[in-house]
Structures are given as structure tokens and as C-alpha cells.
Amino acid sequence: MSAETNLFNGAAWYLAFLFSTTLHEASHALVALRLGDDTAHRGGQVTLDPIPHIRREPFGMVIVPILSYIMGGWMIGWASAPYDPDWARRNPRRAALMALAGPAANLLLCLAAFVLIRLGLHLDWFRAPDQITNITHLVAATHPEGLGEFAAVLLSVFFFLNLLLFLFNLVPLPPLDGSSLPLLFLSESAAERYSSFLRSPGVSLIGMVLAWQLFGSCSRAIYHGAIQCLYPGVY
């Protein structure tokens, strides 16, 4: 791959990563604000402007994504939105809705990219690649001159990256958002005990290691499932 192509793909990856992560955290912040916790709002994170999110997590929003792309050809990173733990403790169901707002935002972006890809295929703006070798090129531009190829790469990354973010964050292990899902169904006393367990030292580290192992074993199936959704019966 030429340096120019690598830079071209890297720009598409970073745009998709930056917007997807920003929307994820802004959704946490907005739902928390609507449900009574203005902590993230006061921190300036109810916004699609990535700058406040980068200021809060420069390592996870800039350094790690760029390094992971240079080393592996794809991006990984993180961001966070602050919240009031006392508010979460008093309102476990609201806290769960706040947590699930992030993955919901990624699902919406994934579906939007899917619709645009399918529309582009229908209108002959895009075509199925002769061979799909990575997630950067799930779709190809019919006429690659101009912005066509950049749009194809950007939508490919938006689709698969947000599918991964949605599914990974729904894994019901701390510190991932999916660990809050039981709070929607537990009684008040059970929710309090469960929340205390989630805050126990070391639980988040163990949960992240287990989630990463679990998700790694499922990644190939997710990849092939995504391709089958885009091109039923073709690959």
C-alpha cells in the first residue's frame, strides 16, 4: 500500500472514529442531563464538537487511535463522559438508560451507513469489491475519481466500526455499558447491591479482559455476518 493510500485510508478511519466516539459520549451526556444529572453538561460534553471530548481523553481519542492504525491498519481508542455516582446510586434505572444511550447511538450510525451503502449500490454509485480483504473496503466506488472512493472507504468504516462499538459495549461485563442493563430489571435493593459490586476494585479490569477475550472469539463471525448483510448470498 502506498503512503498516499495509507494516509487516505487513515483520514477516513480517524473521521469515522472521532465522530462515532464523540456521538457515543455525547449521547451518554445528553441522556444523563435529561434524566437529572448535569455533570457532563457542566463539563461541556453535551456536544458533537470533538474538542471537549479530546481534552478529557487525549490519549484515548488521539494517541492510541493513530498508533493502532499505524501498527495494525485499524483504530481502537476510548473516551468518557463524567457522571455523578450519587445520582446513579439513587437512580439505577436512569443510570442504566444513560449507559445504554452510547451503544444506541452507535447502532443508529451503523444503520445509517448500511442504508447509504445499499442506496449507493442500488444507484450504481458503489459496487461490491471483487474480493473483500479488510473492513476498510467493504464497498468500492463505481467511479473512483473525485470523492467516490473516499465515500466508499468512509462508509465501510462507519458501518463496521459502529457495529463493533455497538456489540462490544453491550457485553454485560464491567466497565462496559452493557453491565448496566440488569439495573433496568432489578429491585431497588438488588440494584444497589449490584451497583456496589460493579464498583468493587479490580472488577472493571477483570471484566475488560474477559470481554476482550469473548469478543475476540466472536470477531470473525461478526465480520462474515456483516458482509452477508451487505451482500446477501454473494460472498
User: Is 209:202 a contact under the CB 8 Å cutoff?
Assistant: no
Q: Is 221 helix (H, G, I), strand (E, B) or coil?
A: helix
Residue 161 sits at φ, ψ, to 5 deg, of -60, -45
Quote the CA–CA distance of 25 and 42 in Å, as a whole number.
14
User: Is 139:65 a contact under the CB 8 Å cutoff?
Assistant: no
Quote the CA–CA distance of 214 and 5 in Å, as a whole number.
33
Q: Is 126 helix (H, G, I), strand (E, B) or coil?
A: strand
Q: Is 136 helix (H, G, I), strand (E, B) or coil?
A: helix
User: Is 91:35 a contact under the CB 8 Å cutoff?
Assistant: yes
Quote the CA–CA distance of 223 and 169 in Å, as a whole number.
17
* Distance separating the N- and C-terminal Cα atoms of the chain: 24
Q: Which of 25, 145, 188, 192 is catalytic?
A: 25
Residue reference for cell 458482509: 227
Whether 25 sits among the annotated catalytic residues: the reply is: yes
Q: Which of 177, 159, 180 minimizes the C-alpha distance to 223? A: 159
Instruction: Give the active site residues.
Output: 25
